[in-house]
Amino acid sequence: MLGRYVGKWFYDKRIPFDAANSPYFPLMVSAIQRAGPGVKPLTAYELSGPILDEEVDEVTKWIEEYKQSWPRTGITLMSDGWLNKVSKNEFLNFLAYSPKGTTFLSSKDVSGTKKDANFYVRLYDQIVKQVGDKHVVQFIKDNVCACVSAGRKLMDKRKHLVWTLCAAHSIDLMLEEIGEIKIMNETLNEARLVSRFIYNQSKILFLFREYSKKKEIIRPAITRFATDYLAVDSIRES
């Protein structure tokens, strides 16, 4: 009966089934069990107010613990861009990596701006000042020409800082070019068709999971070219 009611909640609010894989889902169920009979469900106000504030405080303390290690080890600044497919707004995310872990710093809306080298230099300067100039030892960004030029200018300005091209982006560009070769293009397109056929039909998906020992095909996505090759490998193994 419990499963039915949990399912109804998922279905009613269209919660992605993958949410059940969250490490906090079983913790929530355990907490409800410990609370015992008579426990009252949380209200929307509590979730969006006091409880959210408590979580923000906890995350803030967690980030501060990370920052305490920065003077000793230094950090690597990392940046990656993404496009909101609904609003069409462009964003740049900034993260700080240290041996202690990775911390999200900020997200900048760069929609409608001229993204030349000077723009990136001004933006990167702001981020470096935000985390502390003396803490930054490396900056990793993708290989767009304007970013590369901005990286050189940033190193000229700050002699202790090293600009590094993103290896993942370089590999992604190589895989994109390999995918344009005729035989590779045909193979990748066939993999996409197989993936769509299996995942778009529940009965076929059930049979696939039964005979593939619950292995999943990594479904192709247009955002990262490496995903296509991983999908082909998954199909081969399955």
List the one residue out of 216, 137, 229, 212 whose CA is nearest residue 178. Answer: 229
Q: What pLDDT does 49 receive?
A: 94
Count of beta carbons in the 10 Å neighbourhood of residue 128: 20
Phi, psi of 79 (to 5 degrees): -140, 140
The DSSP 8-state label assigned to residue 84 in this structure reads -
What's the CA gap between 174 and 210, in Å, rounded?
35
What string of pLDDT tens digits covers the 238 residues of the chain? 788 999 999 999 999 888 999 999 999 999 999 988 888 889 999 999 999 999 999 999 988 988 999 999 999 999 888 888 888 889 989 999 999 889 999 999 988 888 888 888 888 888 888 888 889 999 888 777 888 888 888 888 888 888 888 887 788 888 888 888 999 889 888 888 888 888 888 888 888 888 877 777 765 554 567 777 777 777 777 6
Residues 168 and 142 sit within 8 Å (Cβ to Cβ) = no
Local structure of 212: helix, strand or coil: coil
Q: What pLDDT does 47 receive?
A: 93
Residues 227 and 175 sit within 8 Å (Cβ to Cβ) = no
List the one residue out of 79, 154, 155, 81 whose CA is nearest residue 122. Answer: 154
Count of beta carbons in the 10 Å neighbourhood of residue 202: 8
**What is the residue whose two structure tokens read 């035989």?**
183
What's the CA gap between 22 and 61, in Å, rounded?
22
Residues 220 and 191 sit within 8 Å (Cβ to Cβ) = yes
The fold adopted by the segment(s) 70-165 is Nucleotidyltransferase; domain 5 (3.30.420)
Counting other chains too, the contacts that 150-156 makes at CB distance below 8 Å and 24 or more residues apart are: 150/117, 150/118, 150/119, 150/120, 150/121, 150/124, 153/117, 153/121, 154/121, 154/124, 154/125, 154/128
Q: What pLDDT does 56 receive?
A: 94
What's the CA gap between 209 and 52, in Å, rounded?
38
